[in-house]
Chain A
Amino acid sequence: MMGFEIVILWSDLLIWLLVAAGVALGVLIARNPPLLAAWRRVGANRIGMASATVLLAFVLVGLLDSLHYRVALEGKPGQKVQYAVEVLSVLDALATPLRTRNEKTYSEPFATRLYAKETIDVPGQGSVREYPRLKHGGQHLGEREGEVAADAGFTAFRAVALAFVVWMALAGLAARVAGDGNTDGWRRIWRGDTAFAWNAVLIACGLILLIAVPLFSLSGQYHVFGTDKVGQDVFYQVLKSVRTGLIIGLVTTLVMLPLAVLLGIVAGYFRGWADDVIQYVYTVLNSIPGVLLIAAAVLMMQVVIDTHPQWFSTAAERADLRLLALCFILGITSWTGLCRLLRGETLKLRELEYIQAAQAFGVSNGRIILRHILPNLMHIVIIALVMDFSGLVLAEAVLSYVGIGVDPSMTSFGTMINNARMELGREPVVWWSLAAAFSAMFILVLAANLFADAVRDAFDPRAA
């Protein structure tokens, strides 16, 4: 039994904190009839629930990648245990073959040979220039190199069969829940008679299984998305990028939210000099073009990090802190829009009769804000949260390209694209890294956009 030490990175802490906050919010919503009704409307939206299912799959990958540990190194008994420098996650452990089976350099998806020619010594023929066999991709085929398609097809077929079995189990479970004690649950789902969009969820689950199960089973023997310049599996990089994207999209809102809500309500409710100061601050921040403010702040952060190497014990910790700093900077630069919305809405609310009645009864300001104003702003907050997410994921890629994104050692969609963008100039074209990064990002952002639309339709009182 190998020992290990649990490592809790700051971003892990925050992401699990967010999960806890999500659960707490769920409990709160369940007790609040109007919010519950709104979420029921989201639940009835087929496109919304299908995209929520896809998002959940991404979140699952991200959460698995947020449990970190360090393996204990082999040492003499009795000695103090030393731990490896490399920080691994549960996802790394699950995907060990993907992580460790590196090739020398580029190779195409499902290739058995390297992208570049090399001089190899062939017994009897001297040295020959040819494409060397990959160390891992398709190695189990041995001499039967030409049978890649048949072998991969067979593996994929088995995986699809497995996916179907799993899906049937899920469908059965859903039918029991939707049937609510009756036996006709399956028929109701099929016809779309259920209040919750079970059929959309099941279709989305089916699609995810249909794609994910074959991908995972094939990736044991092949590099399904090829390998990059240093021979790392691109599929593994895509999986690792998910966490970075999620953290940028979620933790940023965690930074932005308290600022926007607190200042927005204070400005709108108390007015007077507090309003003037807050308005001044957000007008100033707003008038600096976003990218430039981020660039300036990130440059300064880099100087701080570079001049204080003693703060970080591992490279992972440094990259992690830099990621959080980026979230923090993005949060500081993006709270102004939501703050302005909330201020305007609070200004409207405070003139309504029930608030004035509360004031006349002598209810304290804090209590009025908490019990009467805040609940009535929740729909704006929730809409803003889901709308911002997709924009932040896209922004990460652009910022990493500009050189003010995440640490270059951290895998993200942006760094993947940045490393691969010169490769289209090669002959033959190295397209797979870019294609994989762009498609994964597209699916994540599209799901987030569609889900955001569903949430907005359900929560926005104007769009009835």
Chain B
Amino acid sequence: MLAYIVRRLLYALPILIGVNLITFALFFVVNTPDDMARMQLGVKRVTPEAIQKWKVERGYDKPLLWNAEVGGLAKATETIFFEKSARMFVGDFGRAEDGRDIAREIASRMGPSLAIALPTFLLGLFVTISFALTLAFFRATAFDFWGVVLCVAMMSISGLFYIIGGQYLISKVWRLVPISGFGAGLEAWRFLILPVLIGVVSGIGSSTRWYRTIFLEEVGKDYVRTARAKGLPETLVFFRHILRNALIPILTGVVVVIPLLFMGSLLTESFFGIPGLGSYTIDAINAQDFAVVRSMVFIGSVLYIVGLILTDISYTLVDPRIRFE
């Protein structure tokens, strides 16, 4: 098992290098640091000196890949690629435009992101699986039909509508919870309840439909017929046999997103003013803070790859037929 994990981690390395190269090409080759300086400084203050100063302050004045002016190993290390891109592998993300250390900022913002994303994920999983199981139990009835219609309708509604509508109705008209903000400690739940609720509701449509097809696929299998043949009541067939077996594809399918929960949700966090990584990313995009966006791209891919590895491991844990080979 350990050997397998190590091998998967080694396999992930070239992918991360690829991600790094793509972001490097996007941020430094498509546009030269001069272009970025002009963009950041605005049209009025652009003088060659100002651009040079901007570049020196951020370390963008070095050559891209190969520094011929210095000797030895420094030829490769005193470059933008090494200092800005390669150093991300050791967790050094440099500084944002406001001068703060990006790595520290990320560490402090993960908590609020998780506080929203984790309950949304767990509650959403519970609600959609229960709903899908009910639909599958009453399959080919009017209840099932209208349930599916409801799902299609719900997935046709823009995610923005759920957020804007929910904030308006629950916070502004009914005044049940604060409209946005974030508190520390136990008081935080008052701020969390609405974004979690909205996150769950907006995910119901597509997930329920997907899980329902998985349940229906299981319903047609032989072991279900056997269970019925030995006289088990239908409810027991569903809860003891179908639910358990259908959970295999469902759980292994969602494992990949678990690490990404750390990144938070862009929309929810910015609408509710939660100081997590999602709102950090949006602020960086609006302020055109390239260093932050670059770091988030890198971290996002790392987490995604971790998710892939976890998925492979979870397969072997829930399904004994699969071995590490």
Q: Are A307's CB and B305's CB within 8 A?
A: no
Per the bound structure, the CA–CA distance linking A281 and B22 in Å amounts to 10
Q: Nearest-CB distance from B56 to chain A (Å)?
A: 20
B235: which A residues are within 8 A, CB to CB?
none
Per the bound structure, the CA–CA distance linking A417 and B267 in Å amounts to 13
Which segment, of A24-32, A147-155, A362-370, A399-407, faces chain B? A399-407
A78: which B residues are within 8 A, CB to CB?
none
CB-nearest residue of chain A relative to B28? A300
B305: which A residues are within 8 A, CB to CB?
287
Asked if A180 lies at the interface with its beta carbon under 8 angstroms from chain B, I say no
Q: Are A284's CB and B18's CB within 8 A?
A: yes
Asked if B324 lies at the interface with its beta carbon under 8 angstroms from chain A, I say no
Per the bound structure, the CA–CA distance linking A423 and B270 in Å amounts to 17
Q: Are B263's CB and A289's CB within 8 A?
A: yes
Asked if B117 lies at the interface with its beta carbon under 8 angstroms from chain A, I say no
Q: Are A442's CB and B160's CB within 8 A?
A: no
User: Which residue of B156, B168, B266, B267 contacts A390 across the interface (Cβ within 8 Å)?
Assistant: B156
Per the bound structure, the CA–CA distance linking A236 and B93 in Å amounts to 47
Asked if A306 lies at the interface with its beta carbon under 8 angstroms from chain B, I say yes
Per the bound structure, the CA–CA distance linking A449 and B157 in Å amounts to 11
Q: Count contacts on B: residues with CB < 8 A to the other chain.
A: 47
Q: Are B30's CB and A299's CB within 8 A?
A: no
Given A280-B14, A296-B294, A453:B152 Cβ within 8 A? yes
Given A304-B30, A445-B156, A424:B164 Cβ within 8 A? yes
Q: Mark each residue of chain A from 404 to 421: 1 if its CB lies under 8 Å from any CB of chain B, else 0.
A: 100000000100010001
Q: Are A283's CB and B152's CB within 8 A?
A: no
Asked if A349 lies at the interface with its beta carbon under 8 angstroms from chain B, I say no
A300: which B residues are within 8 A, CB to CB?
26-27, 30-31
Per the bound structure, the CA–CA distance linking A449 and B148 in Å amounts to 12
Asked if B194 lies at the interface with its beta carbon under 8 angstroms from chain A, I say no
Which residues in window 283-341 of A have CB below 8 A to B? 283-289, 291-293, 295-297, 299-300, 302-304, 306-307
Q: Nearest-CB distance from A208 to chain B (Å)?
A: 18
Q: Are A417's CB and B300's CB within 8 A?
A: no
Per the bound structure, the CA–CA distance linking A424 and B167 in Å amounts to 10
A398: which B residues are within 8 A, CB to CB?
158-160, 267
User: Which residue of A288, A425, A450 contacts B22 across the interface (Cβ within 8 Å)?
Assistant: A288
CB-nearest residue of chain A relative to B296? A292
Q: Are A288's CB and B164's CB within 8 A?
A: no
Asked if A259 lies at the interface with its beta carbon under 8 angstroms from chain B, I say no
Asked if A446 lies at the interface with its beta carbon under 8 angstroms from chain B, I say yes
Asked if B304 lies at the interface with its beta carbon under 8 angstroms from chain A, I say yes
B153: which A residues are within 8 A, CB to CB?
446
Q: Nearest-CB distance from B24 to chain A (Å)?
A: 11
Given A296-B27, A299-B293, A421-B164, A289:B301 Cβ within 8 A? yes
Per the bound structure, the CA–CA distance linking A296 and B19 in Å amounts to 12
Given A287-B301, A303-B36, A397:B266 Cβ within 8 A? no
Per the bound structure, the CA–CA distance linking A404 and B260 in Å amounts to 21
Asked if A209 lies at the interface with its beta carbon under 8 angstroms from chain B, I say no
CB-nearest residue of chain A relative to B303? A289
Asked if A58 lies at the interface with its beta carbon under 8 angstroms from chain B, I say no
Asked if A374 lies at the interface with its beta carbon under 8 angstroms from chain B, I say no
Q: Mark each residue of chain B from 269 to 302: 1 if its CB lies under 8 Å from any CB of chain A, else 0.
A: 0100000000001100110101001101100110
Q: Nearest-CB distance from A314 to chain B (Å)?
A: 20
Q: Nearest-CB distance from B13 to chain A (Å)?
A: 12
B281: which A residues are within 8 A, CB to CB?
292, 295
Given A280-B15, A288-B297, A289-B301, A449:B152 Cβ within 8 A? yes
Which residues in window 151-202 of B have CB below 8 A to A? 152-153, 155-161, 164, 167-168, 172
SS of A interface (majority) = helix
Asked if B23 lies at the interface with its beta carbon under 8 angstroms from chain A, I say yes
Asked if A347 lies at the interface with its beta carbon under 8 angstroms from chain B, I say no
Q: Are A303's CB and B35's CB within 8 A?
A: yes
Asked if A255 lies at the interface with its beta carbon under 8 angstroms from chain B, I say no
Q: Are B297's CB and A292's CB within 8 A?
A: yes
Asked if A455 lies at the interface with its beta carbon under 8 angstroms from chain B, I say no
Per the bound structure, the CA–CA distance linking A292 and B303 in Å amounts to 13
Per the bound structure, the CA–CA distance linking A413 and B263 in Å amounts to 27
CB-nearest residue of chain B relative to A295? B285
CB-nearest residue of chain B relative to A450? B152
Inter-chain contact total with CB atoms closer than 8 Å: 123
Asked if B39 lies at the interface with its beta carbon under 8 angstroms from chain A, I say yes
Given A295-B293, A397-B160, A445-B156, A287:B39 Cβ within 8 A? no
Q: Are B26's CB and A296's CB within 8 A?
A: yes
Given A441-B158, A445-B156, A446-B156, A297:B300 Cβ within 8 A? no
Q: Mark each residue of chain B from 6 to 45: 1 if its CB lies under 8 Å from any CB of chain A, else 0.
A: 0000000011001100110011001100011011000000
Per the bound structure, the CA–CA distance linking A429 and B22 in Å amounts to 46
Q: Nearest-CB distance from A320 to chain B (Å)?
A: 21
Q: Are A287's CB and B293's CB within 8 A?
A: no
A404: which B residues are within 8 A, CB to CB?
285
Given A280-B15, A299-B288, A402-B285, A289:B164 Cβ within 8 A? no
Q: Are B39's CB and A306's CB within 8 A?
A: yes
Per the bound structure, the CA–CA distance linking A394 and B160 in Å amounts to 9
B282: which A residues are within 8 A, CB to CB?
402-403
Q: Nearest-CB distance from A342 to chain B (Å)?
A: 21
Asked if A98 lies at the interface with its beta carbon under 8 angstroms from chain B, I say no
B161: which A residues are within 8 A, CB to CB?
438, 442
User: Which residue of B15, B31, B263 contacts A283 across the interface (Cβ within 8 Å)?
Assistant: B15
Q: Nearest-CB distance from A436 to chain B (Å)?
A: 12
Asked if A278 lies at the interface with its beta carbon under 8 angstroms from chain B, I say no
Per the bound structure, the CA–CA distance linking A287 and B19 in Å amounts to 8
User: Which residue of B15, B27, B260, B267 contacts A289 across the interface (Cβ within 8 Å)?
Assistant: B260
A425: which B residues are within 8 A, CB to CB?
172
Q: Are B285's CB and A403's CB within 8 A?
A: yes
Q: Are A289's CB and B300's CB within 8 A?
A: yes
Q: Are B38's CB and A296's CB within 8 A?
A: no
B18: which A residues are within 8 A, CB to CB?
280-281, 283-284
CB-nearest residue of chain A relative to B155? A449
Per the bound structure, the CA–CA distance linking A442 and B162 in Å amounts to 12
Asked if A434 lies at the interface with its beta carbon under 8 angstroms from chain B, I say yes
23 contacts between A and B (CB under 8 A): A280-B14, A284-B22, A287-B15, A287-B19, A288-B19, A289-B263, A291-B266, A295-B285, A299-B285, A300-B26, A303-B35, A304-B35, A394-B158, A397-B158, A398-B160, A402-B282, A403-B286, A424-B172, A429-B168, A438-B157, A446-B153, A449-B155, A450-B152
Q: Known A-B contacts: A287-B305, A438-B157. Give 13 more (CB < 8 A).
A: A281-B18, A284-B22, A287-B19, A288-B300, A288-B301, A292-B297, A296-B27, A300-B31, A307-B39, A401-B160, A417-B158, A441-B158, A446-B156
3 tightest Cβ-Cβ pairs between the two chains A and B = A284-B18, A446-B156, A289-B300
Question: What is the interface of chain A, defined by CB distance below 8 A to chain B?
Answer: 280-281, 283-289, 291-293, 295-297, 299-300, 302-304, 306-307, 390, 394, 397-398, 401-404, 413, 417, 421, 424-425, 429, 434, 438, 441-442, 445-446, 449-450, 453
